[in-house]
Each structure stands twice: as C-alpha cells, then as structure tokens.
Structure 1
Amino acid sequence: MIESQARAEICRVGASLYMRGYVHASAGNISIRLDDGNILITPTDACLGNLVPHKLALVNSNGEQISGSLASKTVLLHRSIYLANTQASCVIHTHASHLVSLSIRGVWSEADILPPITPYYVMKVGHIPFINYRRPGDPEVASMVVECITKGIKIAKPIRGVMLDRLGPVVWHQSPSTASAVLEELEETAKLWLMSNCQAPPLSGVQIEDLRRTFGAIW
C-alpha cells in the first residue's frame, strides 16, 4: 500500500472502530506496512477516533522514526509481527471491552481464548492464543507473540491474532479492512460467550471439518 492511501485508511479504520465502541479514549493502535518496508503507525496516546493523517508516525524497518508524532510504544510489537508473518500488512490493537473482561474472568484455554462456538469465528478468526500479563509496551511481549506466530506456522495453523491479558487483542491481516473484520468477529464472539455465561457448547469436530472442506477454514 502506498503511503498516502495508508494514512487515509488508518484514520478511516480508527474512526470507525472508535464510533462503534471497539476502542475508547487513547487506547489502541493501528499500523500498516508500506510497499517500501517502512511502517506507518498511530502516535503514542493518540485517540483513534480523531487521527490526523500527517501526524501519523513513520518508522523504518529497524524501528527508527522518520517523521510524524512520536510512535506508539507498541511499535516493537508491530515490527516483530511483520517480521514473523510476511503476509501481514496491517496490525490492530484495541482494548475491546468484552475481550478484556474475558481475560479477567478467565479464558477458555491458553491455546484458544474462546471455543469455536460459531462458524464465522472458525472461518474468519481461528485460533487466538493467550499472552500472560506484561505491562503496556513491555518488549518481552513481542518475543512471546513471535513465538506463537512461529508455532502456528510450524504446525500449518497460522494465527491471525493474540490476546494480551488485561490489555486486549492484537490482530493482523493483509489489509486494514480484513484486520478490522478479524477484530470485530473476535470481540463479538467474546460477547456471545460471556452472554452464555461461558456455557455455549462448541461446534462438533464433524461440523468444524465441514468448514475446513467447504471454506478452507484453518482450525
């Protein structure tokens, strides 16, 4: 994606997520990997609801700032995801309420924070591992996430995101629109799971296999 288009897309997605309650205050960040390898990322403590295109931070592949306001403190995490997953072009992190609530209450398992309770969760999201609590911006988080990405690739079950304990989801995909769709489906599934008092039965193995055969779902 070229830089001018990426700046507009980050602002568009940020405003959309903010207006619909997926982010609040100055929580969350968005980045896009540009065609030249540089990374455009939201500034530290920026509100995703009123981003300004020319104020977005531009950093190189080594994390060195080129222009714009000071980059988000999660820039190392974003860079690490792009290095570990060459297919990813956009990373989104939010403090989505139902997912943060789930991490406080207790996730389904560390390998999968939610059970496969809907077909679209299986098809559009897939496995989301749990990352134990570290303070915001802790560089160790990047290493932990890369380990999860590498493991998923090794077993031919690549992941599209992780859940940071008490901080919220980090998701990635090939574009801002597809990354946003993963985030939204993930948050809505967490909402359904909590509404069922964490009792909704998962899809059966036969049902999941049907989704694999029919839609190429990775589960």
Structure 2
Amino acid sequence: MSGYADERTARALIVRTARSLFTRGLTHGSTGNLSLRLADGSLLLTPTGSSLGGVTEEELSRTDLNGRHLDGPAPTKETFLHAAFYRARPDAHAVVHLHSTHAAAVSCLDGLDPANALPPLTAYYAMRVGTLPLLPYHAPGDVALEPLAERTARTHHAVLLANHGPVVAGATLEKAADAVEELEETAKLHLLLRGHATRPLTPEQAAALAPAPS
C-alpha cells in the first residue's frame, strides 16, 4: 500500500480538483468532499462545512486510517466513509463524494435495484464504474453506515447512497473524479430516457469492460 508521497503536491491536487468539480456544477454550496491517502498512511481531506469552490490548501484536514483527527481543521463529517473505502481497498489512493444533481436524483427514485442502481448505458460507464450498489438511507454523518460501506467497498469502488449521492474511490484522484463524472452523466442519461425503451449493454458486454477487481 502506497500513497501520495509529496503532501504539498497532494494538497494542491485536492484544491485544483475541488475547484474543477465546483465550477462545472458537479457540487454546490458546502456539499461534497474529497480525500487522498498519503504515503505515510494518513488521509488528507476537505474540512467540515467547506465549499469545494473555495477551500484552500491550508484548510485541509489530516486523519489516520480510522478517521481519527491528526491535524488541521475538523475534517468532513463523512470522514468515516472515506476511511472505510481506504481500509477496504488497498489500491485506492483517492475518494470523491458528491451530491451531484442527477446521481442524487436517481438515489431518490423508488424501485432501484439495490445491487446495481444504474444500467450500463454506455461503454465508458461500464469501464469506469461497473456495477453500482445502492446503500440504504442514513443521515449525513451517521457512522452506523460505516461497516456496510466498508463491506461493500471490498468488491465495488463506487456506491450510491440513498437520498444522498455517490462515493467513488480510485487509484488516483484523477481516476476517481473521472469515474464520478461518468456516473453523473449516466444518471443524467437514465433520467432522460425514463419512459423510453432502452438498450443497455448486455451482461457479457458490460463484464468485458468492467473495472478489474482489486
């Protein structure tokens, strides 16, 4: 297990990615949070109550792999989700959690398949996301979700939180951000196509493109 070796570079990358997600409307207000795993095993996260559009490098928080605060401002109240993904996935060095509009909208729909909330409408979704488990509703910051999130993350690098939004892990922050954007675009397509007959990828086509297990 390794991570980002240069903390200064890691801080700049988090802030740059946060600005990009915010300015392109993938998060709003003070919603959403990002993290990176550093080479020493600690986690660098956006702080609680911060906007991804305005957070600075100096405002980032650092915790251990169990979410215990080490230094900096208080971390996001959803630190436990990030920590759960890192413990479950030794290959993960970044986690992105957003309240992106279309993915959040899908998370509010009735009748979703809890094993896979979105169909594989495009090849890029199958490649970057694969299957998307729906985790049952918990209030933001409710640590009762932590054990379920950790168990699910062992076999899936992306999940959708009911009535909330997506959480995606990646080997790098760039890969995690790409995957969560692909998830958002597929959620948008899914909503646009509701009421129309669709032709998702077949199980065989999706399986051929699925992300490799860690």
Q: State whether TM-score is above 0.5.
A: yes
Instruction: Answer yes or no: is 1:181 the counterpart of 2:167.
Output: no
- Measured after TM superposition, the shift of residue 63 of structure 1 is 2.5
Write the letter of the residue equivalent to 1:203.
Answer: L
Write the letter of the residue equivalent to 1:41.
Answer: L
Alignment of 1:1-219 (within 5 A): 1=4, 2-106=6-110, 108-150=112-154, 152=155, 159-197=156-194, 199=196, 200-208=198-206, 212=208, 217=211
TM superposition score normalised by structure 2: 0.91
SS in structure 1 of the partner of residue 22 of structure 2 = helix
Alpha-carbon RMSD across the aligned residues, in angstroms, is 1.7
Unaligned runs of 5+ in 2: none
> 1:121-163 deviations in whole A, cap 9, x for unaligned?
111111110011000011121111112123x2xxxxxx22100
CA contact (8 A) 2:65 2:87 kept: no
CA contact (8 A) 1:163 1:169 kept: yes
- Measured after TM superposition, the shift of residue 206 of structure 1 is 4.6
Question: CA–CA distance in 1 between the matches of 2:203 and 2:130?
Answer: 14
- Measured after TM superposition, the shift of residue 218 of structure 1 is 5.1
> 1:38-82 deviations in whole A, cap 9, x for unaligned?
110000010001111011001123433222111111111111111
Unaligned runs of 5+ in 1: 153-158
Question: CA–CA distance in 1 between the matches of 2:171 and 2:73?
Answer: 25
After alignment, is 22-31 or 107-116 more displaced? Answer: 107-116
Write the letter of the residue equivalent to 1:188.
Answer: E
Identity rate, percent: 36
SS in structure 2 of the partner of residue 50 of structure 1 = coil
Going from structure 1 to structure 2, the CA distance change for 1:112 and 1:17 (only over 3 Å counts) comes to same
TM superposition score normalised by structure 1: 0.89
Question: CA–CA distance in 2 between the matches of 1:168 and 1:198?
Answer: 23
Structure with greater helix percent: 1
